[in-house]
Amino acid sequence: MGFLADLRIARAPAASFMALGLFWGSFAASVPDVKATAGLTDAGLGLALLCATLGAVAAMWLAPVLERRLGAKALGVITGIAALGALLPGLAGSPLAFTAAMVAACAGYGLLDVAMNARVSALEADADRSLMNLAHASYSLIYACAAIAAGIARQAGAEPFAIFATVAVLTLLAAIYVTRQPAPAPAEDTGETGNESALPLPLILTGGAIICLAFLAEQGTEGWSALHLERSHGAGAAAGALGPALLGLTMGIGRLFGQAATRFVREAVLIRAAAILAALGAALAANAPSLALSYVGFTAMGLGLSLIVPTVFAWAGRRIRARDRALMVSRLSVVGYAGFFAGPPLMGFLAQAYGLQVSFSALALLILAIPLVLLPVMRRAAPDPIRR
């Protein structure tokens, strides 16, 4: 079986991953315009995105309950909820309105993230194949396309509302597609429901911390790379959008490689090498003397970051009983996705105080904590894989 066969198995969650990539790719390329329309400073944008984490984390915590209630329809319905949230940032004309819009949008996308990762984990168990890197690759590749398209649209004079309205319509179409796809068979009912005590807490905390740092770097770069290129190197709107676009494109390529590599290479080896490459890329992007070298840095960052998150999810999924899978994804996400939403505000606060060069240099140091500190702890904390 090859990529096409794997994609056929994972086609439903892949469509939801693509919907997620549409939103964040468009948002990353639109940050300069959205920031100006809402009247936000660097610190104000950071604070608004930090507030948005509250909606996302609350939604992720409750996602397993909603998924159990909706059953096979969960992924399609939640993708539709995300479509409604995608429209909101384009309507915000003040700091308060932007903050409220992002809280609501991130809540919808927080639900979606748990639902689609849980669906992939279930499909991996059914097919006895690794699918997580492929699913995450679909996010990254669509993210890159969305960032480029949004940058071109900005260059042509498109308003944020037009960009996000397009995202909302495409996401709604994805929701309709997902609802028409068959869901994997539910876990065998043994009279028990998922519970916190069934989860290996050391694995959740260490795996979540690795995901947190990886997402902090990824989202910090997605949210601020366009501004960094425009400010530090005088790039225009389209050239600035190449920063997040390169990150998304190279992450997609890296995850396609990871889809094959995970069959032959141990997870820990992949994570260690990927983190070191990402840290070097962040340092280069921060301190490059030219626009071209900054692009090289973001390329290395994307290739490195690409393998970390899906490999951790897949590794943990193989060590959890089927009925606890959604709960495991939820708790890993609550810990890990703090970085997904905390990255942009952290970058904003550092940029306000010290500049974006320092912000990206700080990312390089944080990424190095993965191979030096967290990975060795996670390896010791991981229980043996559960035989299906």
Report d(CA 205, CA 310) in Å as an integer: 16
| Tokens found for residue 347 | 């970058």
Single-letter code of the amino acid located at 28:
A
* pLDDT tens per residue across span 73-115: 889 999 999 999 999 988 888 999 999 999 999 999 989 988 8
Residue 188 lies in a domain: no
Angle between helices 308-317 and 325-354 (to 10 degrees): 160
First to last CA, the chain: 20
DSSP classification of residue 235 = -
Residue 247's pLDDT band (cuts 50, 70, 90) = confident
What is the reported pLDDT for 1? 52
Q: How far apart are CA 22 and CA 28, in angstroms?
A: 10
User: Does residue 195 carry a pLDDT above 60?
Assistant: no
Q: How far apart are CA 256 and CA 372, in angstroms?
A: 26
Out of 202-216, 261-275, 340-354, 363-377, least confident range: 340-354
The stretch 121-132 carries a mean pLDDT of: 78
Per the domain annotation, does 194 fall within a domain? no
Question: Is residue 300 pLDDT above 90, yes or no?
Answer: yes
Per-residue pLDDT band at 315 (split at 50, 70, 90): confident
Q: Which domain does 86 fall in, by range?
A: 3-183+199-381
Residue 96, domain CATH: 1.20.1250.20
Token pair recorded at residue 12: 């439903």
Is position 64 within any domain? yes
190 inside domain: no
Highest-pLDDT range among 182-186, 201-205, 339-343: 201-205
Place of tokens 């997580």: 132
- 44-74 as b/e: b if 16+ CB within 10 A: bbbbbbbbbbebbbbbbeebbebbeeeeeeb
pLDDT of residue 186: 59
Cα separation, 35 vs 17, whole angstroms: 26
Within a domain: 191: no
The DSSP output letter for 371 is: I
* pLDDT for res 190: 46
In a domain, 318, yes or no: yes
Give percent of the chain with pLDDT exceeding 70. 89
Q: How many domains does the chain have?
A: 1
Residue 170 has pLDDT above 90, yes or no: yes
**Minimal CA–CA distance to 102: which of 113, 115, 111, 91?**
91
Largest CA distance in the chain: 62
The mean pLDDT of the chain is 83
Residue 191 has pLDDT above 70, yes or no: no
Q: Report the candidate in 28, 17, 23 with the shortest Cα–Cα distance to residue 242.
A: 28
Residue 236 located in a structural domain: yes
Identify the pLDDT of residue 84: 92
Q: How confident is the model at residue 323 (pLDDT cuts 50, 70, 90)?
A: low
Q: 193 lies in a domain?
A: no
